[in-house]
Structure 1
Amino acid sequence: METFKRYLMFQGMMFVFGIVGPIFLVMYFVTQPDPTVRWAYWIGLFITTADVLIALALTASGTPKKDD
């Protein structure tokens, strides 16, 4: 449970610092018929994915390893 709390803390920080990705995704889906906003989908998806992966990496790096 400690690891999950740690992950949630990192994920929350990543979405505060990297809020641009979800904003781009919302912008894309709100203006759906406009083909000139297609870039917002890919950039938003990339930034959001990077935020999640960074939070997972930070959580894994701080978790003590158990020796058998």
Structure 2
Amino acid sequence: MDTLKIYLKIQGQLFVYGIVGPIFLLIYFGATPNHDMKWMYWWGLVITAADVLIALGITERRARQDRIARSPVPRSSGSPAR
């Protein structure tokens, strides 16, 4: 559940930074059909998909760092190495 919270927080930030993608999609689907607006669909799709993939990558890295930070430090047995 912690990973989901982290992802949603990061995804929200990325949608603020990359808001133009969802705006392009909303305009494209909300406007009357026009062939000249096809570029808005494709660029909106690319930007939004990039936002989602970047958020997933950042979340995965952060979750891995959290797991490493929580794992106990392994103790060596025997005499110290020389």
Q: Structure 1-normalised TM-score?
A: 0.90
Report the CA distance between 1:12 and its aligned residue.
0.3
Q: Secondary structure at the match of 1:27?
A: helix
Taking the aligned partners of 1:30 and 1:58, their CA distance within structure 2 comes to: 32
Aligned residues: 67
Bigger-Rg structure (1/2) = 2
The CA deviation at 1:11 is 0.3
Higher relative contact order (CA 8 A, sep 6+): 1
Could you give the per-residue CA deviations for residues 45-64 of structure 1, whole angstroms, max 9, x where no partner exists? 00000000000000001113
Aligned to 2:30: 30
Aligned residue for 1:57, secondary structure, equals helix
Counterpart residue identity of residue 42, structure 1: W
Compute the RMSD of aligned alpha carbons: 1.5
Identity %: 52
- Scaled by the length of structure 2, what TM-score is found? 0.75
Q: Which one has the bigger helix percentage? A: 1
Alignment gaps of 5+ in structure 2: 72-82
Alignment partners' CA distance in 2, 1:9 and 1:35: 36
What is residue 19 of structure 1 aligned with on the other side? 19
Q: Specify every segment of 5 or more residues in structure 1 that has no aligned partner in the other structure, as ranges.
A: none
Measured against aligned partners, the alpha-carbon deviations of 1:20-68 in whole angstroms (never above 9, x if no partner) come to 000000111122421100000000000000000000000001113578x
